[in-house]
């Protein structure tokens, strides 16, 4: 394709989501049934269109920009960055968004306010594409904020659920804490480089470069739900399940990783080691959380935290190719898992609508769905295999690249942490599959497979999670083919990865009958721990409240009363001493002036009178 055709296609992929949102917001309620169809068709068209420059121009690296505004001597340009990385990321965003739109046709069929739902899905997709294409970090930050706002509106879409509103507010506030740090980091970069154009930002050393990198990373920690700003992501599961798939797979949490892929080469070693440490903690905490909770969507949410920590760990070690490849692969299999979970929830709602209060998202209430939902089971199992890193899946390819990068560091505690995560991931995802599909059902109900409009997206995402579809001389994924990734994986890593994964699955199978008891025990332990923490927090709050009332408030009141008394004293002094002195001098000057004015008045009689008076005074003074 020519450069002009590539630019036209990229511009079209930006305009189409906006057009989809405009249609959704403008169509009247009478014809609201058209909104899901038109929005899905437009997004699918955009996903197909992006394939042409992606396949035709493997190595094309071009920047299309135009001046936007000037600040003093600095000119800011707005444009589109066309590289293999940006085109691949845009393709994944559009494909996952298209699948979410199509799945939502069935999932949101009986819901209200579908115009607002599909409208914000379109804006959400546009914001993420703008962030991906941006050539300037200031423009990137604008789209970054728009991504956060759209996620807030979509999480809180179900207005009759107060928990959804609270979760949306929590997500908005926690991510904003990171956004402030990100803005500070960008301003420091601007001062250091004189520009925020990605092409001209260079690596520098010094304390301020480290501060800039850490501030940018804090912004990513908030948006990508890493330790310690991670607890908004499980709560965000209050939103519709397709929204969860889009947030967790290709948009909001992926935005932070994509920013790091672009900027990690200019970070200082100190910043990268901080990233590595945070990545390890987040990966292990996410895996532990996925093992402990029993809500099917929260399990996947904690899994996302863990996988993002895995990517940040790789980026901290400088392995950008492995981290970015895993980000692309993760988008497919995690979106497939979330849409599969959405299919389960939808089918269970249909089967248990006569049982109010039945929690269809609690995996302990599920079971034996492999026979009643075979398509969903196959799709979910393949996506779960990719998450676990089973050979033949895309997750296996990118996991091996990252494991190799960690192995080359030759740091025992780092390698131990990564192998613990490799073991934990198959363990918690097998637990989910066992409860949902394999164990005997805990209730007698008839569950029907979801409609084809909801099955097809799961199948499509599942197809993107396997590697044998892209076989040349060895297994590849679409992402590794486009990026022409050639990574040499040591035999010891391959054998070790397969062995640890197999042991994890075997352990999961052996303790499958103890899962229920273990789940209750761990859940009770978690609840007891939370209760103890709440009691400790409440006690500390009571002590601090008493100290505040008895000492701090009294000190503030005494200080306030002292200031008021001092103000009265100063006021009295000013009124009666300062103003009195000034007024006395004024009156004296006025009286003296009156006397002198009466003497020098131009009348001969006055002069003679004062002369005689003066003569008399002189005579009296001489005589006496």
Q: What whole-number distance in Å separates Cα of residue 494 and Cα of residue 400?
A: 7
- 146 vs 68 pLDDT, higher one: 146
44 inside domain = no
Q: What whole-number distance in Å separates Cα of residue 27 and Cα of residue 21?
A: 10
What is the helix (H) or strand (E) element at residue 77, kind and residue range? Answer: strand 74-82
Query: What was the pLDDT predicted at 620?
Result: 82
Eight-class DSSP state of 238: G
Locate 531 and state its tokens.
């209760």
Cβ atoms within 10 Å of 540's Cβ, excluding its own: 10
Least confident range from 72-86, 518-532, 540-554: namely 518-532
Q: What whole-number distance in Å separates Cα of residue 401 and Cα of residue 490?
A: 10
The CA distances from residue 202 to 23, 86, 144, 196, 268, in Å, are 42, 20, 22, 10, 11
Query: Of 428, 420, 337, which Cα lies nearest the Cα of 384?
Result: 337
| pLDDT value at 519 more than 60 | no
Locate 457 and state its tokens.
């997206």
Q: What whole-number distance in Å separates Cα of residue 553 and Cα of residue 550?
A: 6
CA dihedral angle for residue 527, residue 533, residue 539, residue 543, rounded to 10 degrees: -160
| Contact between 330 and 309 (Cβ < 8 Å) | no
pLDDT digits (tens, 9 = 90+) for 135-156: 889 899 999 999 989 988 888 8
Query: What was the pLDDT predicted at 233?
Result: 85
Q: How far apart are the first and last CA of the chain?
A: 126
Eight-class DSSP state of 469: T
pLDDT classification of 3: cutoffs 50, 70, 90: low
Locate 563 and state its tokens.
């200031």
For the chain, give the percent of residues with pLDDT over 70.
90
Q: What whole-number distance in Å separates Cα of residue 76 and Cα of residue 59?
A: 27
339 inside domain = yes
| Contact between 158 and 254 (Cβ < 8 Å) | no
Query: What was the pLDDT predicted at 525?
Result: 45
615 inside domain = no
Q: What whole-number distance in Å separates Cα of residue 455 and Cα of residue 420?
A: 34
Query: Of 48, 20, 19, 52, which Cα lies nearest the Cα of 36?
Result: 20
Q: What whole-number distance in Å separates Cα of residue 60 and Cα of residue 606?
A: 108
pLDDT digits (tens, 9 = 90+) for 571-586: 888 888 888 788 888 8
Q: What is the mean pLDDT of the chain?
A: 84
The pair phi, psi for residue 250, each rounded to 5°, is -130, -5
| Contact between 223 and 178 (Cβ < 8 Å) | yes
Name the residue with tokens 């709560």.
235
pLDDT digits (tens, 9 = 90+) for 216-250: 999 999 888 888 888 888 888 888 888 888 888 87
293 inside domain = yes
418 inside domain = yes
Query: What was the pLDDT predicted at 123?
Result: 93
341 inside domain = yes
pLDDT digits (tens, 9 = 90+) for 260-316: 998 888 888 999 999 999 999 999 999 998 888 888 999 999 999 999 999 999 999
Query: What was the pLDDT predicted at 527?
Result: 47
438 inside domain = yes
Q: Which residues are registered as beta bridge partners of 548?
A: none
Q: Which residues are registered as beta bridge partners of 77?
A: 67
What length is written for the chain? 624
Q: What whole-number distance in Å separates Cα of residue 306 and Cα of residue 291?
A: 11
- Counting DSSP H helices and E strands in the chain, the numbers are 25, 4
Query: What was the pLDDT predicted at 515?
Result: 55
pLDDT classification of 530: cutoffs 50, 70, 90: very low
Buried b (16+ CB within 10 A) or exposed e, 269-280: eebbebbbbbbb
The helix/strand/coil state of 66 is strand
pLDDT classification of 1: cutoffs 50, 70, 90: low
Query: What was the pLDDT predicted at 610?
Result: 72
Locate 226 and state its tokens.
């890493």
Interstrand relation of 475-476 and 470-471 (parallel, antiparallel or unpaired): antiparallel
Eight-class DSSP state of 550: I
pLDDT classification of 529: cutoffs 50, 70, 90: very low
Q: What whole-number distance in Å separates Cα of residue 171 and Cα of residue 174?
A: 5
pLDDT digits (tens, 9 = 90+) for 420-478: 999 999 999 999 999 888 888 777 778 888 888 999 999 999 988 888 777 666 778 77
Full-model pTM: 0.80
The helix/strand/coil state of 62 is strand
| pLDDT value at 524 more than 80 | no
pLDDT classification of 167: cutoffs 50, 70, 90: confident
Query: What was the pLDDT predicted at 379?
Result: 92
Query: What was the pLDDT predicted at 480?
Result: 79
The CA distances from residue 509 to 293, 337, 376, 506, 514, in Å, are 19, 21, 21, 5, 10
Query: What was the pLDDT predicted at 306?
Result: 92
| Contact between 158 and 239 (Cβ < 8 Å) | yes
Instruction: Give the angle subtended at the CA of 306 by the CAs of 470 and 318, to the nearest 5°.
Output: 70
Query: What was the pLDDT predicted at 503?
Result: 92
Total tally of structural domains belonging to the chain: 1
Least confident range from 120-129, 371-380, 541-550, 612-621: namely 541-550
| Contact between 124 and 100 (Cβ < 8 Å) | no
Q: What whole-number distance in Å separates Cα of residue 282 and Cα of residue 288?
A: 10
Exposed/middle/buried for residue 134 (C-beta within 10 Å: 0-12, 13-18, 19+): buried
**Structural domain boundaries, residue 446:** 268-510
| Contact between 20 and 12 (Cβ < 8 Å) | no
> What does the DSSP assignment read for 573-601?
IIIIIIHHHHHHHHHHHHHHHHHHHHHSS
pLDDT digits (tens, 9 = 90+) for 33-51: 888 899 999 999 999 988 8
- The residue ranges of DSSP E strands in 420-493, in sequence order, are 470-471, 475-476
């Amino acid at each position: 394709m020519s450069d002009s055709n590539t630019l036209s296609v990229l511009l079209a992929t930006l305009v189409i989501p906006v057009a989809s949102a405009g249609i959704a917001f403008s169509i009247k309620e009478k014809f609201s049934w058209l909104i899901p169809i038109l929005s899905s068709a437009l997004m699918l068209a955009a996903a197909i269109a992006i394939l042409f420059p992606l396949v035709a121009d493997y190595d094309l690296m071009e920047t299309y920009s135009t001046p936007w505004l000037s600040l003093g001597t600095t000119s800011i340009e707005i444009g589109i960055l066309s590289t293999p990385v940006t085109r691949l990321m845009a393709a994944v965003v559009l494909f996952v968004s298209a699948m979410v739109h199509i799945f939502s046709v069935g999932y949101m069929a009986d819901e209200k306010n579908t115009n607002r739902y599909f409208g914000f899905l379109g804006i959400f997709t546009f914001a993420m594409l703008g962030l991906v294409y941006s050539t300037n970090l200031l423009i990137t930050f604008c789209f970054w904020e728009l991504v956060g706002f759209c996620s807030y509106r979509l999480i809180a879409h179900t207005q009759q659920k107060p928990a959804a509103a609270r979760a949306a507010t929590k997500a908005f506030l926690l991510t904003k804490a990171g956004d402030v740090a990100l803005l500070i980091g960008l301003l420091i970069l601007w001062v250091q480089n004189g520009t925020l154009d990605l092409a001209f930002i260079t690596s520098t050393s010094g304390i301020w470069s480290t501060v800039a990198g850490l501030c940018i990373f804090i912004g990513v920690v908030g948006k990508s739900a890493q330790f310690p700003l991670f607890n908004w992501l499980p709560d965000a599961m209050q939103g519709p399940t397709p929204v969860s798939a889009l947030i967790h797979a290709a948009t909001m949490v992926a935005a932070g990783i994509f920013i790091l892929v672009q900027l990690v080469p200019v970070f200082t070693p100190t910043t990268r080691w901080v990233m590595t440490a945070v990545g390890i903690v987040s990966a292990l905490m996410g895996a532990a959380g996925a093992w402990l909770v029993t809500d099917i969507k929260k399990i996947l949410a904690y899994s996302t935290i863990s996988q993002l920590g895995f990517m940040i760990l790789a980026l901290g070690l400088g392995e950008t190719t492995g981290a970015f490849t895993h980000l692309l692969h993760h988008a497919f299999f995690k979106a497939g898992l979330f849409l599969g979970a959405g299919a389960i929830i939808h089918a269970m709602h249909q089967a248990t609508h006569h049982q109010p209060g039945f929690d269809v998202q609690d995996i302990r209430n599920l079971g034996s769905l492999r026979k009643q939902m075979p398509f969903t089971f196959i799709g979910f199992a393949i996506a779960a295999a990719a998450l676990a890193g089973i050979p033949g899946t895309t997750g296996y390819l990118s996991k091996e690249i990252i494991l190799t990068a960690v192995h080359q560091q030759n740091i025992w505690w780092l390698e131990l942490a990564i192998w613990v995560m490799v073991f934990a991931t198959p363990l918690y995802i097998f637990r989910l599959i066992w409860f949902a599909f394999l164990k005997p059902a805990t209730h007698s109900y008839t569950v029907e497979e979801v409609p084809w409009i909801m099955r097809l997206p799961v199948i499509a995402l599942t197809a993107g999670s396997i590697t044998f579809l892209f076989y040349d001389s060895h297994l590849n994924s679409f992402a590794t083919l486009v990026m022409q990734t050639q990574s040499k994986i040591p035999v010891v890593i391959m054998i070790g990865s397969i062995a640890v994964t197999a042991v994890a699955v075997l352990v999961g199978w052996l303790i499958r009958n103890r899962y229920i008891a273990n789940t209750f025990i761990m859940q009770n332990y978690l609840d007891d721990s939370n209760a103890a923490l709440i009691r400790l927090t409440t006690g500390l709050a009571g002590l601090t409240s008493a100290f505040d009332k008895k000492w701090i408030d009294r000190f503030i009141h005494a200080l306030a009363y002292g200031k008021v008394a001092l103000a009265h004293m100063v006021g009295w002094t000013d009124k009666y001493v300062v103003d009195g002195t000034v007024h006395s001098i004024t009156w004296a000057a006025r009286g003296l002036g009156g006397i002198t004015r009466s003497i020098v008045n131009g009348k001969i009689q006055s002069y003679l009178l004062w002369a005689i008076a003066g003569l008399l005074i002189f005579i009296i003074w001489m005589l006496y």
